[in-house]
Amino acid sequence: MSPRVSEILSWYSSENSGVLSNLARLFNQGKLSGTGKLVILPVDQGFEHGPARSFSDNPYAYDPDYHFELAIQAGLSAYAAPLGFLQASSHRFAGEIPLILKMNNSESLWAENVAPISSITASVDDALKLGCSAIGLTIYPGSADRKMMYEEVAEISKEARSKGLAVIIWSYARGGDISKQGQTAIDVVAYAAQIAAQLGAHIIKVKPPTEYIEQEAAKKVYVKNKIKISSLKDRVSHILDSTFNGKRILIFSGGEAKSTEDILSEIKSLAAGGSFGSIVGRNAFQRPKKEAISLLQNIMDIYTEIDTKK
C-alpha cells in the first residue's frame, strides 16, 4: 500500500475491513494505482438522458461490453453503471476492473417542475453478486423530496457498509428554489458536498462549481470571511474544506461533451485545487475509442503531475 493510500484509508478507520479493502481496490487499479487519485468511467446516461442523446455520437457505446473495454483499456480506476449494463457484461470482464453499481436512477421524461428524485433500481445484494466494490447513489439537495432521498440513502448506505461495500454519493443540488445557475453555484455545490459527507459517503462526487453565489445568507459570509472563489482552483479547495477539511475523497464530474482543450484545462484547475480525481462519462464514451483513451490518459497524467499532496 502506498503511503498516500494508507493515509487516505486512515480517515475511514471506523469502517470494517471489507469497506477499507474495497476503497483500496479502487486506489490500486490501473494507471493511477497508488497515487491516491481516481479516474472513473460512469455510464448511467442511457437511463438519465436517454439512449440517442447518450450513445448515438459513438454508436459502439450502445453495447454494454464497450464501456468495460474502454475503462479497462484506458487503465481507469473503476467503471460505474446501472444494473442492466453491469448484468449484461460483468461476467465477461470479471475481476478486470472495480465496479460500482449505480443503485438509483432517474430519467429526463418528467416535467421540469416535478421535484427531482431517483428511484432505487437495484439492491446491495445485486452489487455483491456482480462483484462490485462500491454502490453509487444520487441525491438532489434542494428537491422537495429530499427527506425521502436522505432517508433512503441512510438506510441503503448502512446495509452496503455492513456488507463491506464502499458508498459513493453523486450530490447534485436542484429543484425547489434553486435556480439553474444556482445548481453549480459555489455555495450550493459546497453545501451539497457537505451533505453527502454528513450522510456518510466515502466518496463524494459534485459538479465543478462556478463563482456565482446563490444564497444571500451565504454571500454575506463569503464576503465577510474573504473566502477565495475567483478561480476554479480556489473553489475546489473550498469544496475540499467543506468535505471534512479534505478528509473525504472528493471527485468532480466531467459534464457535457466539450473540446479536448477545454476539458484538459478544467482538469488542470481541479487537480491544482486538490481534487482526488474525476468521473468522466460523456467526454469519454461519446468520442471515438482511440481518442477517448488518449484523453483519459492525458487526464490521468495531469492528476499524477499536479499532485498537491506530493
Is residue 45 within the footprint of ligand FBP (CB under 6 A)?
Answer: yes
In 3D space, the residue among 249, 214, 291 whose CA is nearest the CA of residue 22 turns out to be 249
The CA distance from 281 to 284, in Å, is: 5
> Smaller CB distance to ligand FBP: residue 5 or 139?
139
Site string for ligand FBP, 219-248 (x = CB under 6 A): ------------------------------
What's phi and psi for 146, nearest 5 deg?
-65, -30
The CA distance from 203 to 160, in Å, is: 14
Question: Which of residues 22, 90, 210, 253 is near ligand FBP by CB under 6 A?
Answer: 253
Q: Which DSSP category does 230 fall into?
A: S
Is residue 48 within the footprint of ligand FBP (CB under 6 A)?
Answer: yes
Give the interface segment with ligand FBP, choosing from 12-20, 38-46, 111-119, 145-153 (CB under 6 A): 38-46
Q: How far is the CB of 282 from ligand FBP (least distance, A)?
A: 3
Is residue 214 within the footprint of ligand FBP (CB under 6 A)?
Answer: no
> Smaller CB distance to ligand FBP: residue 19 or 137?
137
Is residue 42 within the footprint of ligand FBP (CB under 6 A)?
Answer: yes
Question: What kind and span of H or E run contains 187?
Answer: helix 186-198
Residue 205 annotated to the active site: yes
> Smaller CB distance to ligand FBP: residue 32 or 41?
41
Q: How far is the CB of 40 from ligand FBP (least distance, A)?
A: 9
Question: Which of residues 8, 71, 272, 279 is near ligand FBP by CB under 6 A?
Answer: 279
What is the C-alpha end-to-end distance of the chain, expressed in Å? Answer: 16
Cα 213 to the chain's mean position, in Å? Answer: 22
Q: What is the DSSP string of 111-161?
A: -TTSPP-PEE-S-HHHHHHTT-SEEEEEE-TTSTTHHHHHHHHHHHHHHHH
Which residue numbers are catalytic? 205
Return residues touching ligand FBP (CB under 6 A).
42, 44-45, 48, 170, 172, 253-255, 279-283
